[in-house]
Structure 1
Amino acid sequence: MKITFLIHDIYGIGGTNRTTLNLAAALAGRHEVTIVSVRRHRTHPRFDIDPRVTVLPLVDVRKDSADLADPLLHERSLAFPVAEKRYHQYSRLTDHRVERYLGDAEADVITGTRAGINVYVARFAPPSALRIAQEHLTHDTHTKKLRTQLARQYRDLDALVTTTEADAAIYRAKMRLPGVRVLAVPNGVPDPGLPPADAGTRVVAAAGRLTRGKRFDLLIEAFAEVAAKHPDWTLRIYGAGPEKDRLQQLIDERSLGGRAVLMGVVSPIEAEFAKASIVASASDAESFGMTLVEAMRCGVPVVSTDCPLGPAEIIHDGVDGRLVPTGDRRALATALLDLIADEPARRRMGRAARRGALRYDPSRIVHTYEDLFADLDATRHSRASARHKSKWHGLAAHALRH
């Protein structure tokens, strides 16, 4: 099969890029895979790309690019949803390039990877291709205005794929999409190729973008309790973001200098997780929880807040990690202290985490997608009929009301 992924900017860093590249590489072993990057802002991608995967940029915004002189680049997009966060980076030029590419595409499957790009797929992908929308955020993360726009456009898709069953259930309940298959497929996380972590190290690790929603402040506060009882343990936080200065100030205020350290961005992160005995996450919300799975694949137990929507589908509390109430500093500190005090439990949970994370191996995720492709192809006519019936019923109901 010819499979195309349409993505915002594959040359940057971020969870969607990483998961798309993981899936593309796994599919490339059996299919012809192309990643179409709507934008290109740098010469070389930040992540390694499997040589079997073709990368095609559409709009080049690098310095001295000829596209910068195109007047369409400076006209507002008419197709990308206005309520989408990235709207300011889209233009008539991106509309034109995407429409032209998808119109000429000979792909069997075209997959969008964020809300606005999913709208592009719904509007411009040929009906001969299976049109799939991946949602790497969540239904409730989108504004009400954007959800209204998506509800209209997503009806022309074949499938909507979320990363968790909890989010898929919300879409089924709140966004009526006749003829569209709504299902959850978790992100694939490859084997890091590392020996299991040594649960004897005195390190707690965490990773993610340094934003308020990730609640690294809560983790630092919890670790202050840990440090008071176990002065030989350290906290390493990997990532960058707007909260860096505030978090450093908090570390200084709690006299944790040298004990809690902001390590900056490290990619890939698995080698750093393998140096830790515990990985922690204090997020208020997660659309999936990539770092949790990455840690588990290294054989490291995770202590995470039981936030919407991903952690409870990844961690089996008390078996391969711990779940604690969202926003509860004391519960987070207690869970960390319990594992710190019990090395045999850390080792047992680490082994269970490594086994359990096998369900996220990209080879398994590929089979799930291949089954989806086959099912969507086999049900084209029945789903199209359901879509048309719903459309006519809606028009009839509207006429009766007016």
Structure 2
Amino acid sequence: MKNICFLEGDISRSGGTERVTSIIANELAKRKDEFNILILSICKRNDQLFFYLEPNIKITTVFAQPDYNGKKEFFKIVYKIRKFLKENSVDILIDVDTILDIYGIPATRFNKTKIVSWEHFNFYENLGVKLRDYGRKLAAKYSDVIVTLTKEDKNYFKQNLKIKHNIYTIYNPLILTKKNNDYDLNSKIILSAGRLTYQKGFDMLVEVAKEVLMHNDEWKWIILGEGEDRKKLETQIHKYGLDGKVILKGNVEDIDSFYDKASIFVLTSRFEGFGLVLTEAKTFKLPCISFKCKAGPNEIILNDVNGYLIESFDLNEMAEKIRYLINSELKRKQFSDNALNDTEKFQLDFIKKQWIDLLNNL
């Protein structure tokens, strides 16, 4: 049996990183004869986990308190991780986000623990944290394996860094299945989802909504998710007279019911690591429209087959394509019928096998 540890920043959060970590960890934890799964979280700001974890997964935190200084307490963090790895005889440490390589790699130097660097954004985005760039350089030199979420991003790593060991692409898995009704051609709801942050481009979404909804009074645009840009977006929505038309729903537990009732799914991100919400929308047969941002949408949407890929960040083209879909039931039906084309590569069983093979071959 192999002891596998996921190193997380905060496993209690509601982000896509934590969601995918929980899925993969749970799938591995079900194979009790092969893997013992542990999660080491730098901190845990919420008492309750947002995503379910199998009861046989052991969760430990580096710091009991939620506030810590990652730079000032660098050596303390590395020491605690190293001690945890030794006490639990960890065979493989998976750093969830390459910024954690600044801790995980020193903690695994000169011991038996193998290290996997799991990129969750893309090579060209550091989210304003230069340490993330440094973590990627460490990963290229010292990690036993780097895992990217897209082939596009794998190429960015190979073009910019000399990778000493192996680099693989493992997509995020499809995790929702169509449960209720067939695609509703009569729906007049546009749906978007993600954290209300600069990355997700909801400020651009509101600009597009202003052009789309002014001539389509029966349509509404629902945004699922919460974040630091809420007040700014509320002000922008009110400024354009879109109150009640563009609706900020916040975090919801029944996200599948929103997918089920929607007509079109739109992604306006400035950048992605993958674009998990697009794959979720496709399982509900939704036509998808997205900017061709780095990295992910190009490998999820088949342009003019089950959605549209829009040049980043052409707001006029985005508005034009949404208006066209609104006015063409035939095109929406065509995209819906083709929604699951090219999705075999995202199926959970396939993704799970890739992870199992990777871990068993280390």
Q: Please confirm whether the aligned pair reaches a TM-score higher than 0.5, indicating the same fold.
A: yes
Q: Once the two structures are superposed, what CA deviation does each residue of 1:19-69 show, in whole Å capped at 9, x if it has no partner?
A: 10011122223233222222122321122223343322232116xxxxx9x
Q: Which runs of 5+ in 2 are unaligned?
A: none
Instruction: Pick one of 27, 33, 37 that aligns with 1:33.
Output: 37
Q: 1:135 aligns with which of 119, 122, 126?
A: 119
| Structure 1 residue ranges, 4+ long, deviating more than 4 angstroms after superposition | 88-92, 143-146
The separation in 2 between residues aligned to 1:331 and 1:54, in whole angstroms, is 48
Q: What amino acid maps onto 1:44 in structure 2?
A: Q
- The structure 1 residue matched to 2:306, chosen from 320, 330, 333, is 320
Name the counterpart of 1:15.
16
Match of 1:237 in 2: 223
1:189 corresponds to which of 174, 184, 200: 174
Partner Cα separation in structure 2 for residue 149 and residue 163 of structure 1? 17
Q: CA deviation at 1:148?
A: 4.3
Supply the distance in 1 between the matched residues of 2:257 and 2:73 (Cα, whole angstroms): 36
Give the conservation status (yes or no) of the 8 Å contact 2:176–2:283.
yes
Structure with bigger gyration radius: 1
Question: Alpha-carbon deviation of 1:215?
Answer: 1.8
**Contact 2:220 2:246 survives alignment (8 Å):** yes
The equivalent of 1:308 in structure 2 is 294
Kept after mapping to 2: 8 A contact 1:8/1:37: yes
Name the SS of the counterpart of 2:332 in structure 1. helix
Equivalents in 2 of 1:285, 1:156: separation in Å?
27
RMSD value over aligned CA atoms? 2.3
Q: State the alpha-carbon separation in 1 of the partners of residues 45 and 76 from structure 2.
A: 15
CA drift of 1:333 comes to: 0.9
What amino acid does structure 2 have at the position aligned with 1:141? Answer: E
Amino acid at match of 2:30: G
CA distance in 2, matches of 1:119, 1:338: 47
- The one of 84, 91, 97 equivalent to 2:80 is 97
Q: 1:149 to 1:189 in 2, by over 3 A?
A: closer
Q: Kindly state the Cα deviation for residue 254 of structure 1 after the two structures are TM-superposed.
A: 1.9
Give the SS at the match of 1:13.
Answer: coil
Partners of 2:99 and 2:132 within 8 A in 1: no
Compared with structure 1, are the counterparts of its residues 149 and 325 closer, same or farther at alpha carbon in structure 2 (3 Å cutoff)? closer
CA displacement at 1:247 relative to structure 2: 1.7
SS in 2 for 1:286: coil
SS at match of 2:241: coil
Q: 1:265 & 1:162 partners in 2: Cα distance?
A: 27
Question: 5+ unaligned residues in a row in structure 1: which ranges?
Answer: 63-67, 77-86, 378-402
Aligned equivalents of 1:261, 1:244: Cα separation in 2: 11
Greater helix proportion: 1
SS at match of 1:323: strand
Report whether the alignment pairs 1:274 with 2:275: no
Task: Please say if residues 188 and 219 of structure 2, whose CA atoms lie closer than 8 Å, have aligned partners that are also in contact.
Answer: yes
Following superposition, the deviation at residue 5 of structure 1 comes to 0.9
Q: TM-score by structure 1 length?
A: 0.81
CA distance 1:312–1:189, change in 2 (3 Å):
same
**How far apart are 1:209 and its partner, in Å?**
1.5
Are the equivalent residues in 2 in contact too, given 1:197–1:300 (CA < 8 A)?
Answer: yes
Compared CA separation, residues 311 and 89, structure 1 to 2 (3 A): farther
- Give the equivalent residue in structure 1 for 2:89: 106
CA distance in 2, matches of 1:263, 1:153: 38
